Amino acid sequence: MNTFPRRRRNLFALFLIGWGVIVVGRLAQLQLAQGAKYRAKAQRQQERQIEISPRRGAILDREGRELAVSVEVSSVYAAPDEVAQPAAAARSLGAALGLPAGPILARLSSEKGFVWIARKIDPAAADRVRALKLAGVRLVPETKRFYPKGSLGASVLGYVGTDDTGLAGLEYAYDSSVRGKSGRIVTFKDARRSTYGESEAPGARAEQEGATLTLSLDSGIQFAAERELAATLTELHARSGSVVLMDPSNGEILAMASAPGFDLNQYGRYPAETRRNHAIADAYEPGSTFKVVTGSVALEAGVIRMDEVIDTGGGSVRIGNVTINEDKHHDYGALTLAGVLAHSSNVGIIRVGLRLGAQRLYDGASGFGIGKPSGVDLPGEACGTFRPLSRWSSLSNASISMGQEVSLTALQLARVAAVIANGGLLVQPRLVTRLARPDGREERVAIPPPVRVISEATAKKMRDMLVGVVENGTGAEAAIPGFSVAGKTGTAQKAGPGGYQRGRHVPNFVGFAPAENPKIVGVVVVEEPQGNKYYAAAVAAPLFSRIVSQALGIMRVAPEEQRLPSTVLASMPTQYPAGLVPASSRRSTPVPVSAPAADPRVVAGEIPDVAGLSARQALALFARMGVAVRLHGAGFVTSQSPSPGAPFRPGDVATLNLSESVPSVARAAGGREETSSNPFRP
């Protein structure tokens, strides 16, 4: 009689056991099999992680002046599921940020848990957003790249994107070092989906600041180079230009200017062509400046002597069935190698190149780094053009000797000049000299040791000849009052379909100063100046003079005009009246009337004509005569007393009036610059 109730109890017990098994099984499934999935989902619902860009390290010039820094700004983000009225919020945010409401509304309508509204806004905009007090809209601190000097060094420094990743220049090349490591903020929401704070949860991490770069650039020299280059481009309506100033002893770049320029703080407003670094990205035919390479290789190979006379053949030379003429059909007659460089004779340097032969010219030019990147720590460097010997034509030996069929950048040309300036060593250019880590560690940037290209003796001979180019040749406009300058002009013409293009010239100049102990190697390039003023002698040479003279002053390199020749440094047994400078203190016999003069300006027994010379040069000329000199002013000689040709006696006093401006008499001594435009005639 108790069978039914007992059965019912048993069935109920079995039901409970079965239900328990099902519940436990489901719990096991949720906790064990799918636990990780649901825990992650819960975490996403309760936590919101925000990536914070790290503070980029600063970029400093060689004197520690700031060129690029990171400043703290605010960014606006939103949690769309917390925004009650997206349309109204979008309108309010658009008005506060100065942005269209449509894109903001699209983000606020997203199903994502987190969206950026605006990144790295200015403080005033941040205050306006903060005043709105919109639910689900918040501000988070970030850093923004700022360039205190605006456009200074823009193409060298480069710029960064909104995500703080380097996009160009040094910002790109050293991005992994400068950028640091990003941080992460974790925020929490309650059951009503309200954010109630931030936490140092395991998912959070602090950002790490990047390394600080110290450059070889000098802000003052960079400013002078950019200002003078921009003024020249404006005056001549030129397409673009570049300037490179480098320390020849170690390859440190003191300035690298590229024009037209742009404001780094608003780089997005400028086209890509304007942001181009012309000093490393543009390779061009150098024209006559390449004669420095040909002459150096020839001297090193011993195929020509300094006192050897080269016949320029009436201004033309025939290669096979092609005749190559001097520019404007000049006839320079017989010239030494120094004369070939001073007059920039195409025929003369071709004869030197033909003596070398194709193999030695190719090997020698390759040693100067022609056709190879310099290895500078910047992205986007062009290699230039220097075809393998197997691809040379019957005219290539002659063409390359005078700077055609070969192209190089302004930086690569500066590297060539540094070989002459530093005594024959090929250095690797560099911009970054050291990195400073946030923890205090400093790293010096290692560079390969220089490679010897030519002997010291060859470099000295070429240096002396390049001084002659400035003192008596086509580079007269590159003279700097108080300093000896060595250099070479070149006026190339752009090649295009069908040959060289009329009216498209590239005047350039390469040089260094002071010639006796070079502190600066400089290259200036002006692309496509308009009008009749396009020769390097009239465009690039004076630009070099203006820039390098300012750079020498900034570097505090003392003028040498008051430094007396070695003869003056000997003991001085004789007391001279105040204001007199003894041109020579040796007790040597004055030049006798019958003695031949070693200098063409010196006529035996007569006062020489020193107008147009620097004070240093004039003193050296008087040194052999035992004549004391009274100097008025500084710079170059504008007038003298006694007059040229007057008889002199030992103990006489010559008075020289000087001016900082190079007098026209000195400039007129230079010959007309050669151009590489179509010198061939069948």
For residue 654, give the nearest of 609, 613, 603, 614 by alpha carbon. 609
Say how far residue 96 (Cα) sits from the centre of its chain: 41
Phi, psi of 17 (to 5 degrees): -60, -45
Q: How far apart are CA 361 and CA 386, in angstroms?
A: 12
Distance, CA of 217 to CA of 229 (rounded, Å): 17
CA 592 and chain centroid, separation = 54
**Structure tokens that stand for 26 in this block:** 């489901």
Instruction: Give phi and psi for 221, each to the nearest 5.
Output: -70, -40
Q: Tokens 């980029």 correspond to what residue?
A: 56
Half-sphere exposure in the Cβ direction for 161 (13 Å, CA): 7
Amino acid, single-letter form, for residue 297: V
CA dihedral angle for residue 552, residue 557, residue 560, residue 565, rounded to 10 degrees: -140
Please list, in sequence order, all residues whose beta carbon lies within 8 angstroms of the beta carbon of residue 472, skipping any fewer than 6 positions away: 342, 669, 670
Q: Does 288 qualify as catalytic in the annotation?
A: yes
Rounded distance between C-alpha atoms, residue 169 and residue 279, angstroms = 12
Q: Which two tokens stand for residue 651?
A: 């103990």
SS3 for 540? helix
Structure tokens at 518: 């070079």
Q: How far is it, in rounded angstroms, from Cα 214 to Cα 444? A: 10
Q: Which three-class secondary structure state does DSSP give residue 116?
A: strand
Q: What is the CA radius of gyration of the chain?
A: 36
Using DSSP, state whether 70 is helix, strand or coil.
strand
Return d(Cα 152, Cα 613) in angstroms, integer: 37
> Could you count the other beta carbons within 10 Å of the beta carbon of residue 235?
12
Dihedral of the alpha carbons of 468, 470, 475, 479, in degrees to the nearest 10? 180
Catalytic residue among 219, 288, 484, 585: 288
Q: What does the CA dihedral 632, 637, 639, 645 come to, rounded to 10 degrees?
A: 120
Catalytic residues: 288
